[in-house]
Structure 1
Amino acid sequence: MHLSTILTTTVALASVPGVLGHPGMGKALGEIMSRQADEGDSTELLGDLVTLKDKDLTNVGKDIKKLLTGKGNPESNEKYTKVPPKNSAACKADTCCIWSYIAKDMYGFMAGQSGRCTKWARFAVRMGFHDAAGWSKSTASQGNGADGSIILSKSELDRSENNGLQEMGARFQQMYDNYRGQGWDIGMADLIQMGANVATVTCPLGPRIKTYVGRRDSATPAPDNLLPDVNADADSLIALFRDKTIGPHGLVALVGAHTTSQQMFVNESRAGDPQDSTPGVWDVKFYPETTGKAPARVFRFPSDIKLSQHPTTKKEWKEFSGGGGQNHWNEDYAREYIRLSLLGVNNINKLTECTKVLPPTTKKFSPSDQRKVEKWLNNTDRKGKAAKIAENLLAGDLVVDEVPATASPTAPAAVTPAA
């Protein structure tokens, strides 16, 4: 739940004369707020923070502990001024310096000509999720989580749930080998999570998430069956994520990353179709277009529909869909992604914050080709110009071609799966 919602409730009750002075009211209000927080929010500590005492926490450890317990700001606009030259002694002495160069390289292939983010940005977000989510409380003794194993294991990436990530894996492997070959001791786990956060802020309207480096790598593949299935029911998804310390509200925030997506493998006959009307843009249209009307080409995952209708999650889904939904979602997503990116990490107190290396945010976005995109969204042709437009959007390029704004009579209609 958005922190401001709880605060608004508290202020409103406090403004009623005598309310907090009524016997037991203060305790009752505390219990109500506790239930609100526990109902669907993620507040469990992770890794070494579970056992460390406050007096033993570093500044980073203290900050992350606040973020994990629903406090503090998960976003940051801190800038990196006067970045040392790449091969200088000053750069080698500053942990974040080389990550500034890595982030710049990533931005180069994640930012599209149109201002939208490219397929590489979307792959990177998915890669970050799939590496980190290979952890649960039930399997914690086996390790894994955000450890780079999705690439380092040489087998995890070939699993069916990772279809479409092989190109990204090869690209990250090349970056990893390149920088390590130059003498930089970077980790694959950090490279993957840095990539996810660079990607998120590169997509227009995306949050600038606090970003940390210093994770330990592992080549041991994650256990099977820890990633969500697109056909899963809501109860199964909620249980799966609770086992990762992520509550229902956090789950609703995280699935919103589908807003930038163009699905390729769930239904290959509709490869390239987006999951909302603004692929490559980090907006909240995914939420109302999953539950309500959407253009014919929008592709909805059955699991998303079911989650949007579940009693535990539909209120949060609706809040993201309404006024103020963008800021609400950005904050919630940022907080939950920080949690996700630290699953299985047992040296959190020793991490270094390098948020300052991320690109700046894009607060407003109005693409010049939107009219052409809207026509394409309402046309279900799969070949010719329609296929070219899908490729343009994947590449982040401006759409040049136009298709009729009505679907071809012979084309398959977009079908909304039953909940």
Structure 2
Amino acid sequence: MSFKAIFALVSLAVAASAAPPRQVECSAGRVVSNAACCQWFDVLDDIQENLFDGSECGEDAHESLRLTFHDAIGFSPMLFREGKFGGGGADGSIMAFAQIETAFHANIGVDEIVEEQRPFALKHQVSFGDFIQFAGAVGVSNCAGGPRLQFLAGRSNISQPSPDLLVPEPSDLTDTIFARMGDAGFSPNEIVDLLASHSVAAQDKVDPTIPGTPFDSTPSSFDAQFFVETLLKGVLFPGNGSNVGEVLSPLKGEFRLFSDNEIARDPRTACEWQSFITDHDSMVTKFETVMVKLATLGHNPLDLIDCSEVIPVPKAVTLPPAILPAGKSLGDIQAACAATPFPRLGTAPGPATTIAPVPPA
């Protein structure tokens, strides 16, 4: 082959590699890189209006994000090594076999969001596993300061019921949680990264007498306030007393899980916990990264189609820095990170902070 011919082939190869990815036009003039992603715009429009009440960061958004974890964490390489079925991970089995999996003690309360989501998955003829991860990503994108999660489509709708006892419980000791999550492939610090989701969370079933009790004072913002307030000394219960999985809370109307309380103060995770108080960008980035791992448990990501373009870009907001709630001081903080001094924080003005419950969906 002549030098000119070789040069021409090389030039074509360089031009091809430099060419922008081919765009496919979907409904309403929206574009994606893969035509298989177009259907997800229709799903997006439907759930933003009819599941998330007009793109709100409300209870259904919180519960949808929670469901991504409860479905995916049903995955145990240790059980597979023992010759047992270890679960399919993020495969939608919690929706396909809801009568079995929502009866597991650790899954108490997820039956409501499973049944709310199911009609949407059936209507749009997408797999349960895909829909659960999609809805979680869309829901959290509605929260102020929230992340934009990766979304990969193409999970099969064929699954088996997950084994019981794979979802950590709020009453579990840190060693138990670290061991279970470690089996699924997560380090202690990655558990903290996942717990950024609790910044937009509330409880309904640990104490069913006070549903919608948030874990921090800003339940519609994906911010660092949760990481501050979990380190405050507990002084009261928001309901009528202690429940299994609950410990004293620092603020009237706020709920604290035993597991959050312990992980925040464990020497293996305390510094990661404290670091998020003054670094919102790191909290969001690490949450996005660890959710990539969670959402693909039980799958080879190379077998899936990247449809992340469909996930809304969270609105640009400037969140205020984390502060001490009104009526609290640094003396109320139970700092546990030995390597780094606790940051200096301002204090909210006014009378002692009281937190209202999250309105029901």
C-alpha distance in 2, partners of 1:264/1:217? 29
Partner deviation per Cα, 1:242-297 (whole Å, 9 max, x = no partner): 10111111100111211111211111233221100011221121111101265322
Q: 1:308 matched to which residue of 2? A: 264
Mark the CA change 1:391 to 1:207 in structure 2 (over 3 Å): closer, same or farther. Answer: closer
Q: Is the 8 A contact 1:107 1:359 kept in 2?
A: no
Q: Is the 8 A contact 1:297 1:377 kept in 2?
A: no
Q: Is the 8 A contact 1:116 1:281 kept in 2?
A: no
Per the TM alignment, residue 99 of structure 1 is displaced from its structure 2 partner at its CA by 0.8
Q: 1:319 matched to which residue of 2? A: 275
Which consecutive residues of structure 2, in runs of 5 or more, have no partner in the other structure? 1-20, 234-249, 321-325, 327-348
Q: 2:357 matched to which residue of 1? A: 390
In structure 2, which of residues 203, 219, 227 is the aligned counterpart of residue 263 of structure 1? 203
Q: How many residues align?
A: 290
Per the TM alignment, residue 116 of structure 1 is displaced from its structure 2 partner at its CA by 5.2
C-alpha distance in 1, partners of 2:49/2:38? 17
- Do residues 104 (structure 1) and 45 (structure 2) align? yes
Partner deviation per Cα, 1:343-370 (whole Å, 9 max, x = no partner): 111x421211001101121231679xxx
Per the TM alignment, residue 146 of structure 1 is displaced from its structure 2 partner at its CA by 0.7
1:367-386 equivalences under 5 Å are 378-379=353-354
CA RMSD of aligned residues (A): 2.9
The one-letter amino acid paired with 2:95 is I
Mark the CA change 1:265 to 1:365 in structure 2 (over 3 Å): closer, same or farther. Answer: farther
Per the TM alignment, residue 171 of structure 1 is displaced from its structure 2 partner at its CA by 2.0
TM-score by length of 2: 0.73
Partner deviation per Cα, 1:281-327 (whole Å, 9 max, x = no partner): 21121111101265322111011111011111001001012x22x11
Q: 1:84 matched to which residue of 2? A: 27
Q: 2:286 matched to which residue of 1? A: 332
In structure 2, which of residues 247, 252, 255 is the aligned counterpart of residue 296 of structure 1? 252
Q: 2:340 matched to which residue of 1? A: none
C-alpha distance in 2, partners of 1:377/1:169? 37
The one-letter amino acid paired with 1:358 is I
Q: 1:123 matched to which residue of 2? A: 63
Q: Is the 8 A contact 2:47 2:120 kept in 1?
A: no
Q: 2:167 matched to which residue of 1? A: 227
Q: Is the 8 A contact 1:275 1:298 kept in 2?
A: yes
Q: 2:323 matched to which residue of 1? A: none
- Do residues 179 (structure 1) and 124 (structure 2) align? yes
- Do residues 170 (structure 1) and 170 (structure 2) align? no
Structure number with the higher helix fraction is 1
Partner deviation per Cα, 1:52-111 (whole Å, 9 max, x = no partner): xxxxxxxxxxxxxxxxxxxxxxxxxx9x9842369xxx99x8110001111222222455
Mark the CA change 1:147 to 1:133 in structure 2 (over 3 Å): closer, same or farther. Answer: same
In structure 2, which of residues 158, 180, 199 is the aligned counterpart of residue 240 of structure 1? 180
In structure 2, which of residues 122, 132, 147 is the aligned counterpart of residue 207 of structure 1? 147
Which consecutive residues of structure 1, in runs of 5 or more, have no partner in the other structure? 1-77, 181-185, 381-388, 396-419
Structure 1 segments of 4+ aligned residues over 6 angstroms from their partners: 374-377
The one-letter amino acid paired with 1:306 is E
Identity %: 27
The one-letter amino acid paired with 1:96 is C
Partner deviation per Cα, 1:345-399 (whole Å, 9 max, x = no partner): 1x421211001101121231679xxx9xx9999448xxxxxxxx5353x44xxxx
Q: 1:157 matched to which residue of 2? A: 102
C-alpha distance in 2, partners of 1:201/1:287? 20
Q: 2:15 matched to which residue of 1? A: none
Higher relative contact order (CA 8 A, sep 6+): 1
The one-letter amino acid paired with 2:285 is E
Q: 1:6 matched to which residue of 2? A: none
Secondary structure of the residue aligned to 1:311 is coil
Secondary structure of the residue aligned to 1:106 is helix
